[in-house]
Amino acid sequence: MKECVFFVVAVCVCQISFAQMDCPSSQELQTALRQVHKLLTAHETSYIQSLRNLRKKLNLLKTNTTKSNVKSGSNRNATCPLPEPLENGRRLGGVLTVGHEVHFLCSPGYELVGSETRVCHESLSWSGPEPYCKLAGQADSSVTSPVTPAPAPSPAPLPDFVRASRCIHLQGSTHCTCEVGYALTGTDNSICTDIDECELYRRTQSVRLCMHNCVNTAGSYHCVCPHGYKLGRDYHSCQDIDECETGQQSCTQAQVCVNTYGGYECVAAQCPHFRNATYVKTSALRCERNPCMVWDKACIQAPSSVSFQYMAVVSNMSAPRVLFRVSAARLLGDTLRFGLLGNRGRRHFSVQRSGQTMGQLLLVTPPQGPATLYAEVEMSELEKRKLLGRYVTKVTLFVSPYTF
């Protein structure tokens, strides 16, 4: 191109100084022009050839790049052959593309022989030997020629605690998800394993997931209550069944049904025996002393009435707390005294005056069940230190084995 410019300039200069100088002849000029033309043509040809070569090279490069892309793309999407169905077991993982894993599990009573996990290789073949399930305890068959074991008499259904994950392939990456109650596991997230909510909650939370027992199930959990309780509406708490109300009790006509936490009791109040005194049952839970002869001191000193109180509480109930109050219906004397009779209930109970004519029974220590605790509360009425009458309340406390 440089030469080309030079020649054109030389011709122009010649034209300008045409008048003063001896110019070359017309023939010489034509010869020079032809040479320039020839040179230009040669350059043009060479230039076009270079362009063609360059284009060729570009096309070749482009073709190679596309081929390479197609090749790698096809490999990524290529799949290994579907593994043979596993008799007396199952395969987990449905992604059969290169690099992905499938897992094998045997039904209960069977053992896996061969590869538990197989990976799809670039060569579109599975890693490891083909697995099969053999009856547990049976001698190993040759791995290279698997035999079908005899079916178990009644194989239990396969626990559903492990499932295949759902994966989608998007823009070169794989996203796997699990059903509710399952979590992704496995090196390539191809399987979902059940979450043990009971264990997880026990380890991470300070409060209980269930009031009583938690049972982990495939994909979920549920709470269970002990006998005598029903599961609450929140599916977590346990509520006592009132057998006396629901008619689930089997008490006789002479007995009184007392509902307790987790059960019920059939009680029959027995009137006491005191020397010279006789009693009559005035209600299911009360006995009154028959009138005494005025000279019969022993009879007069026997309780005027004996009442029965049956109560139900839960284990570990906070204490101290008032269980019940006792008062005189009408005051005849000038003094009322309240106290516990005997030593039977002193460990758990205490009696206090709570008003001029009222006393109360206190539970002083948290009770531990299952247990039945007894106490006898006495109220004495005096006139000028002379006993007018004694009124006894026999208390029976049924403590549940649970804290509910």
How many chain residues touch Ca ion (CB under 5 A)?
3
Strands (E), 160-225: 162-164, 166-170, 173-177, 182-185, 191-194, 213-217, 220-224
CB nearer to Ca ion: pick between 104 and 264: 264
The upper half-sphere exposure of residue 154, i.e. CA atoms within 13 Å in the direction of its Cβ, equals 0
Of the candidates 362, 394, 349, the residue with the CA atom closest to the CA atom of residue 376: 394
Min CB(312)–Ca ion separation in Å: 8
CB nearer to Ca ion: pick between 203 and 233: 233
CB nearer to Ca ion: pick between 194 and 240: 240
Helix axes 26-77, 2-16, angle to 10 degrees: 150
DSSP letters of 265-291?
EEE------BTTB-EEEEETTEEEEPP
Q: Which residue is nearest to Ca ion (CB)?
A: 240
Min CB(403)–Ca ion separation in Å: 15
Min CB(250)–Ca ion separation in Å: 13
Min CB(248)–Ca ion separation in Å: 9
265 sits near Ca ion (criterion: CB under 5 A): no
Site for Ca ion in 235-264 (CB under 5 A): 240-241, 259
CB nearer to Ca ion: pick between 182 and 229: 229
In Å, the largest CA–CA distance within the chain is: 183
Min CB(309)–Ca ion separation in Å: 18
Classify 133 as helix, strand or coil. strand
Q: What's CA 115's distance to the chain center, in Å?
A: 31
Q: Please give the C-alpha separations between residue 40 and each of 37, 46, 147, in angstroms, as whole numbers.
A: 5, 10, 85
Min CB(370)–Ca ion separation in Å: 13
CB nearer to Ca ion: pick between 239 and 327: 239
CB nearer to Ca ion: pick between 93 and 228: 228
Min CB(261)–Ca ion separation in Å: 6
Site string for Ca ion, 273-292 (x = CB under 5 A): --------------------
Of the candidates 174, 177, 175, 221, the residue with the CA atom closest to the CA atom of residue 201: 221
CB nearer to Ca ion: pick between 165 and 259: 259
CA gyration radius, the chain: 51
Q: Would you tell me which residues interact with Ca ion (CB under 5 A)?
A: 240-241, 259
